[in-house]
Each structure stands twice: as C-alpha cells, then as structure tokens.
Structure 1
C-alpha cells in the first residue's frame, strides 16, 4: 500500500498542472497571441455551433431505464424512481433536456461533466444538480481513495454547506471525456487552443480591417518637419477611418504623400484561412462540416450518409460514456445486473420515408417484425391484439408464422384420401352383398 500511495503522490507532483483535474495550464496564451479559454472559444461561431449541435443532440435523445425480464427480453422500468428523474425532471429547477444539455456543454468545453447526487435515507437518488467543472478538483487521499473537492458559489443551489466541500464518489455523477489517466478528461478547447487562437486572430483581423475603412494601413510622408503629427493622424482617421468612409477621395496638402504598407487580404489568402479554421474546429469535435453551415463539399448524394456517420462515429461514443457513467454512479450494486440505461438513437438513424417503408415491408413479409413493432417505430398507436397487431407473418398469402407449411400438410392429406375412399367403398360393397347371400341361403333351405 505504501508503494501505491507513493505512486499516486508522484502522479500529482508535477507543477505544470497537466495531471489529474488541474489542466488549467493548457488554457491561456497561444502562439497566435490570443488568449483562449472556454468562454472566449464560445465566441467563435464554429465552436458555438459544434457545442450546440452535440449538446442538443444528447439532450434531445429519448433516455429510458430498462430492466431485464425473466424471458431474457427488456422492458421500461417506469416504476423505478430513476426513470422519471432522468426522463423528465432531475431536480425541481430543470427539465431533463436542460440538465443533459448543460452537462454535455461542460463535457465539450472542460472535458468533464459533474452532477451532485442527492439521496434519501434509503439510499435512493432523488435529485441531480449540475456542478461547474472549473471549480471541481479530483484527487486521492493518503489512502489512495478518490475524492472530489468543490468550490461553492452563491449563484448555485444551496445543496452543500461550506465554501470548499469534499464529496465522495458516491455523491458525484462524473462523466469524463478523453484523458490520460482514465479518471479525468481533458478539455478539447485547451488541447486545440492554438488552432482556435488562430481562428480568433483571423476573425479579429477581419473585423479591424473593415473598421479601418477596408483600407490597409500606411504612412503619411511630409517633406518637412511636422510640428504636430498627432493632429494630422487624428484628422486623417476622422476623415477616412471606418467602413462608412471607405472609398472617399483623399486630398493631401502641404506635400503630404500616402504610402500603404500592408498587403491585401486576397494576397494573404484571408478568406481561405478562415475557411480552413472552420474545418479545423469541426475536426476537433468530429462534426460534419455541413452541420455547421459549410456545404462546399456536400451534395444531395452524400449528405444523408454524412448524417448517419455523425450518429455512428460522433454521437455513439458520447452516448456510451453517458450510459456507463450513469450505471456506475446511480444504480446500486444489486441493481446493476438487472437495470441499464439506454439512449434511443433509432430516430436519428432513420432514412427517408420511402427507404423506411421498403425496409418495413421486407421485415413484415419475412416474419421478424409485426405491425405493432413497425407502428411503435413510427410513433403510431398500437393495433389491438385481437385484431392481429402482434402477429408475425411470412410471405405467401401472409400466413401466420406458426402455420408455416400448412399447404404442404394439406397436400399430403389429399394424396392419402383416395386409398381411404377405396377401402370404404369395398367395405360398403361387402356390406351390401351380405343381405343377398343370406337370402339365397334361405331360399335353398326352403322345404319342398
């Protein structure tokens, strides 16, 4: 145990704050000269769009708690307290959509999502409250046990007492992102700060370019000695500065000469650089460019496939993180073998109407989907059981699956029927002959 403790103390020893939850070292200055934080990054339209798309996608997916039945199938555990908590209202202040949207935003910006678990006397979860990741510290004590330390604030719900509160893993729902130690995730914004910083610098350059009248900066040359250069500079800026004064004719007096010194945006490939930075940000979050408004490489033939790939390669990993983290933190040990959480992504994987109908027809005719199975996927009312809504049919006169082969059985019965008819005919003939034979005998026995 002493070796174990020394290893964890050594793990937390570096001063550059690159270990554990203290990853603040990565935020701040960049090679572009712009400071990048989670809040300044959200001022970039591409970053804001990516975060909004992913957070709203996770928040909008149906989330259910299921249980395994004795037959091996699954059913919704509507009677379990966690079902209503996660499906409808995690706490009295939020809906399930807002709660999940908030946690997913934290996860995308800081790399971690935390929520305080409120339990009753029986140990049942009765509420979940989001916690800010930038005020949370994850560490281990002298015995190697994990703990969470949170700095409270006045603008939060008063669910904790004290300014610095230590919480056990039993009281925290922690969803970590990609990290180095498997315990704490690292911020995508922090890890890609140079790329985002360059995008911020390009945006600021474009804004200042138009603020200066869409005219490159330059030098005003005077053949003599200028007694008051500040007055001349202010006079020039007031007359020709700003986008409202662009393309005005300048009148130079006293031998003044204007010499531009900066290159045009076209020469600097300004627009191309801005486009590339949008692709860079989309690459960080693994978002298809067409979803954030870049349709340059999208068409009607591939945009649906890109949307399906978004569900498969972008949403599915996040969904798995959510499901497994909730199972680990919210279910009691004896419940983990019986219950599980599941996001329903089937609605996002559906194709167009014609493709869905063709798929349903194939499933219906081959006997592995009933009418009610299809109607549930289309959010339609079920057909009553007595009307055949739960029947599984196969192609060929739509015979019930349990009656498959009935035609062959009837054909074999017909082949055997002539033999039976012949036997019955012979038997009837014998019975008809018996009276004749008996009458002849009586006639022969008659006395002369």
Structure 2
C-alpha cells in the first residue's frame, strides 16, 4: 500500500496516524463495506450508483446539472487595490481546469466528474500531480472506491486519510493535499450526497418504477378469471391453463368463441392506470426528485411549467442548484491550486456563469437597450449582447446620464447627437470646442480679433483667429 503526501507538507502526520483516535470510518460503497453495527442491526445494503441512475428522472437531472457545470469556464482573477478584479488570461492552471485536466481527461469531463460524485456521494477527491510549484495534472478518484478515515489528536481539529481501492491496488492520500469538493459536510473531509440523504425517496421511485414495469410487462395484470363451484385437481388446473393459453392468447385469437366445460364460468376483470393511481404516483415521484436536486420541475417534467420566462427558469436553476456546487469547486481550486503569496494578493478562481443566464431574443434586445441607456455598456457591447457582429470601423460610444450625450471611448470626445456639437474632456473638466465666428458690422466695418488684424484696402480685413 503506497502513501501519497507523507513527505513535504505534512511529514509529522505519518507518526500521528497510528496513535490518534479514529473518529469515523466512512465508506462510499456500502454494498461492499458494511460496518459491524449495521450488520448486527440487520440493515440492508445501501443503494448503488447504477440503481439510482436507472431512475429516468434522476438520470435526466444528473445529465442536466453535470453538463451545465462541465461547459462553464473557470477564470483566474487578481484583486486591485481599489477592490476591482483583474482577469489573468494566461495561466497553466486554467488549461488544466478548462481544457486538459491530465493527459487522458478533458477539462469538460473533469468538471462533470466532480459534479457527478458530489451530487451522488457528497464528495469528490482528485489527486494533484506536482513538480515543485508546477502542477502537471489533476486526476479525479472514483468516489465509490474510496474509504475515508477521520482522525483527531487534540479533540477538535481533524484530518483525514483517503484510501483508494481498485484493480491497481490500495493507495492512501492525505485529504488536505487533494482537490476536495464537498456537499453537506460537517467536518470538511466527508460529505453526504443524494444516495445517503434521500435513500427512502429513491427507493420509493425504484419500487414505483419496478411495479409499473412488472404490471405492464407481457400483460402480467390479470384481465379475466375462470370460476367453478367444484374442486379441481392440480393436474386439471395445469392442463386448463395450457389449453386456455394456446387457444385464446395472442392477437390472432381475438374474437374466438369461448367453450367452457364442467361448470366453468368466465369473469372479466377491468383495471386501468387511473384506478391504480399510477399517474398521480409518477407525478409525485418527479416532484420529489426535482426538489431533491433543487431544479425547476419543468426541466424534467414538461407538464409542470411554473415559469413564464425562460430567463426566470434558468435563474432559479443557477441560484438554487448550480451555485452551491460551483462555489464548492471554486473554494477547492483556491485552497489547493493557489500559492500562499497569491492568496495574500487576492488571487481567486471563479466560474464564468454568463452563458447560463440565457433568454429569448426579445429579452436580450430589451436588456441591451436598457443597459445601454443606463450607461452600463457601450453600443458595441450592446450589439454583441444581442448576438450581432460589429465592424472594426464602428466607433464605440457610451451613453451618459446627461441627456443623450455620447462618449467616444478612443478619442474621449463628448458628442451631442441632437446638435452635432463636440466637446473634449480634460483634467479641468469639459471644454467646448471653439467655433470660428465673424461678427460683421456694416456701419463700422470692424472685426474684433484676439491676435492681429491687417487692413487691406478700405473695407477688407484679413485676420487669423487663435482661441485661448
């Protein structure tokens, strides 16, 4: 059994691990690793991942959430002195998170894997392959193959040993050296997912699904019965069943005349899904699963449309379902991928969620117009927001709050589109561009000038105007 992380950052823990009190021994594969107390109490094995994902609504919800998270880019920011964020475009860690987590796994699949394990098991653990301060790859561990032991040597602080058991062998890791994303955690080491928190609801959904399948499979629901007042031997019942099946079952036997002997009576049984309450039961299961994942029910059940706007639907999905998972992933990245001096400088990883707040074409146009009129975005940004292309020669303007004055981003000129006047901005404020004007007086024939004037003839005056 190999130990990862026993040298370097935590050399003392290899000595403490054998002497400290073990608080918990948590496993994420209860069908294989049942505790002694659960066996004595007669508890059954927990649900497996395959059983849970065999429920169509759960599979749909998982696909919706994990694919949404997988397609989001993670960005790196540093914080300026005034509190604003400055985006860092080029960094090798961004390549690992968004493009290639390791030599085999794409960034999209890496983020999907994290979200999948967090939802199902409440924890996702990934090994970070380092060479000094350089990270060569991030390798997600299969959570269903993990065993996590939590220790404490002082009664309040805890640390965990994560054991991976697979076909390659058994490997131990210190939890605080892993890329660890948790959900519903009490100790910062282990978590709880839907399999553990919602086991009864998932079992109910499975039982409902199995019952409906068995009911409809090959016509297992009896539609008729044969009655008789006399006692019938087992051999007679067996022969009667075979004869009845061969004569009257199948589509080709529809309309055949029934011939009953020995006092047999035919009785028809009528049952429909409404009498069995299957329809309402299925609606209830879909509603429970939607609440389990905090997603709008209409996303997995088209009959349940609670929102008139697609934007409102996506906003609910983003705020209550995705946001907690995204924050957990961001926290794990900030904790394990940033250097200490970068943390001191305010570096942080954040998801770009702008692509999730999608809206209709009408809503996008209205949003762009309102933001442009409020001076939040430029005309070029407004066109891009509505999905329109922008030519390179189109000037970029910002609408200011003083009427409809426009600010040219490049030249810093203020333009009044109503009058055509142009003003320049400077340190002393706004200065109006002077316009050359000539005040003629036919009686006195004078021109007032700031510089020089030279008379040519009796009535002609030539001058040059230079504004102060």
TM-score w.r.t. length of structure 2: 0.71
In 1: Cα distance, 2:360 partner to 2:291 partner: 27
- Secondary structure of the equivalent of 1:342? strand
Confirm or deny: 8 A CA contact 2:314 2:358 kept in the other structure.
no
366, 369, 375: which one pairs with 1:367? 375
Equivalent position of 1:177 in the other structure: 183
323, 333, 350: which one pairs with 1:326? 333
Confirm or deny: 8 A CA contact 1:78 1:84 kept in the other structure.
no
Query: Equivalences for 1:89-104 in 2 at 5 Å?
Result: 89-104=100-115
Confirm or deny: 8 A CA contact 2:310 2:359 kept in the other structure.
no
For residues 400-428 of structure 1, what are the alpha-carbon distances to aligned partners after superposition, in whole Å with 9 as ceiling and x for unaligned? 486569779659999xx99xxxx997x9x
- CA separation of 1:380 and 1:183: change in aligned 2, threshold 3 A: farther
- CA separation of 1:381 and 1:137: change in aligned 2, threshold 3 A: farther
Query: Equivalences for 1:275-290 in 2 at 5 Å?
Result: 275-290=283-298
- CA separation of 1:333 and 1:112: change in aligned 2, threshold 3 A: same
Confirm or deny: 8 A CA contact 1:111 1:177 kept in the other structure.
yes
Equivalent position of 1:208 in the other structure: 214
> How much does 1:322 deviate?
1.1
- CA separation of 1:221 and 1:213: change in aligned 2, threshold 3 A: same
For residues 165-198 of structure 1, what are the alpha-carbon distances to aligned partners after superposition, in whole Å with 9 as ceiling and x for unaligned? 2211343111111234443211212322222222
Confirm or deny: 8 A CA contact 1:50 1:285 kept in the other structure.
yes
Confirm or deny: 8 A CA contact 2:30 2:45 kept in the other structure.
no
> How much does 1:135 deviate?
1.9
Unaligned 5+ segments in structure 2 are 1-16, 39-43, 417-421, 424-429, 441-445, 451-468
Confirm or deny: 8 A CA contact 1:149 1:164 kept in the other structure.
no
116, 129, 134: which one pairs with 2:139? 129
> How much does 1:256 deviate?
3.2
189, 202, 205: which one pairs with 1:199? 205
> How much does 1:93 deviate?
0.7
Equivalent position of 1:446 in the other structure: none
Confirm or deny: 8 A CA contact 1:115 1:172 kept in the other structure.
yes
Correspondence 1:105 to 2:116: yes
**As a proportion of its length, which structure holds more strand?**
2
Confirm or deny: 8 A CA contact 1:67 1:340 kept in the other structure.
yes
Query: Equivalences for 1:304-383 in 2 at 5 Å?
Result: 304-336=311-343, 337-374=345-382, 377=385
Equivalent position of 1:152 in the other structure: 165
In 2: Cα distance, 1:248 partner to 1:270 partner: 32
| Worse overlay, 208-217 or 336-345 | 208-217
- CA separation of 1:87 and 1:127: change in aligned 2, threshold 3 A: same
Confirm or deny: 8 A CA contact 1:213 1:240 kept in the other structure.
no
109, 113, 119: which one pairs with 2:130? 119
**As a proportion of its length, which structure holds more helix?**
1
> How much does 1:82 deviate?
0.4
Confirm or deny: 8 A CA contact 2:29 2:145 kept in the other structure.
no
> How much does 1:305 deviate?
1.9
- Secondary structure of the equivalent of 2:274? coil
Query: Equivalences for 1:19-58 in 2 at 5 Å?
Result: 20=26, 24=30, 36-58=47-69
In 2: Cα distance, 1:244 partner to 1:172 partner: 65
Q: Which has the higher contact order (CA 8 A, sep 6+)?
A: 1
- Root-mean-square deviation (CA), in Å? 4.4
In 1: Cα distance, 2:256 partner to 2:61 partner: 41
Confirm or deny: 8 A CA contact 1:118 1:171 kept in the other structure.
no
In 2: Cα distance, 1:23 partner to 1:340 partner: 34
In 2: Cα distance, 1:214 partner to 1:43 partner: 22
Confirm or deny: 8 A CA contact 1:218 1:259 kept in the other structure.
yes
For residues 65-121 of structure 1, what are the alpha-carbon distances to aligned partners after superposition, in whole Å with 9 as ceiling and x for unaligned? 23335675434434322011111000111111111112211111112111111111x
Equivalent position of 2:304 in the other structure: 297
Confirm or deny: 8 A CA contact 1:67 1:74 kept in the other structure.
yes
236, 251, 262: which one pairs with 1:254? 262
